[in-house]
Amino acid sequence: MNDDQRIPRSRGAVCGSLLILLGLWGGIAPFIGPYFHFGFTPDSAWHYDSGRLYYSIIPGAVALLGGVLIVLTRSRVLGTVGGVLGVLGGAWFIVGTGFVNSLLNRHISVGAPIVAPGSSASARLLYVETISLFAGLGVLILLAGAVAIGRFSMVAATDVEESDDSYEASYAAAPVASKPDLSQYSTSVSTSGAPPFAPAPFPDTSQLPKTE
């Protein structure tokens, strides 16, 4: 994975936005659900307890943070980290209750389903609330985080083209090496009319005595 190669923010826009919205829903819905007799006890809006903290606020905040990282970053590493946070938040919505109660042996209850007065469909309501606030919500968050990891880890053809274009632009903007200054070397003709480095003339041999 090459983190030096920047990618467009649109790469994770959809997955990041989904994680933000789903994280907000998972963290806030238990507090506003009692207004509509939807959710789990206590049947009091904006009531804080350890169950809502462990099973709604924490995983919702983790998914929200992952979505923000994915939307804002152009780094492959940070985008992948955001996807991993989304996966962890979604997985906690699914298995958090069993993990805390069974493995950590801390009996923190998620509460009982809120049933509207005069309603007898408690079983169906429990299923809808569980899907909407925990298991189904967790699956959607986990899926969005996994897709984000896949999108940030792959190298698209457009990324290669943009990288080549940026390299060519930086190469074109690089300063061109200056030509050597040859003005210090004299190329003028000497005053005698001969070239500066002309070979010496042959000696005159007409005055030498002739030998028989």
Residue 143 belongs to domain spanning: 9-155
Model confidence over 68-111: pLDDT tens digits? Answer: 999 998 889 999 999 999 999 999 999 999 999 888 888 898 88
> How many other CB atoms are there within 10 angstroms of residue 49's CB atom?
14
Q: Would residue 198 count as lying in a domain?
A: no
Whether the upstream peptide bond of residue 34 has omega within 30° of 0, thus cis, is: no
Q: Would residue 176 count as lying in a domain?
A: no
Q: Mean per-residue pLDDT for 23-48?
A: 92
Q: Would residue 202 count as lying in a domain?
A: no
Q: Would residue 171 count as lying in a domain?
A: no
What is residue 164's predicted lDDT score, i.e. its pLDDT?
47
Torsion sign across C-alpha atoms 158, 164, 167, 168? negative
Better-predicted residue by pLDDT, 158 or 79: 79
**CB of 3 closer than 8 Å to CB of 52:** no
Taking the C-alpha atoms of residue 40 and residue 30, their distance in angstroms, rounded to an integer, is 7
**How many domains in the chain?**
1
> pLDDT grade, residue 180 (50/70/90)?
low
CA distances for 189 relative to 5, 80, 182, 192, 197, angstroms: 59, 73, 16, 8, 10
Per-residue pLDDT at 158 exceeds 60: no
> pLDDT grade, residue 146 (50/70/90)?
very high
What is residue 37's predicted lDDT score, i.e. its pLDDT?
85
Q: Would residue 162 count as lying in a domain?
A: no
**CB of 148 closer than 8 Å to CB of 69:** no
Tokens linked to 21: 């919205």
Q: Mean per-residue pLDDT for 203-211?
A: 62
Q: Would residue 139 count as lying in a domain?
A: yes
Taking the C-alpha atoms of residue 37 and residue 44, their distance in angstroms, rounded to an integer, is 9
Q: Would residue 130 count as lying in a domain?
A: yes
The pLDDT > 90 percentage for the chain reads: 42
Q: Would residue 61 count as lying in a domain?
A: yes
What is residue 207's predicted lDDT score, i.e. its pLDDT?
63
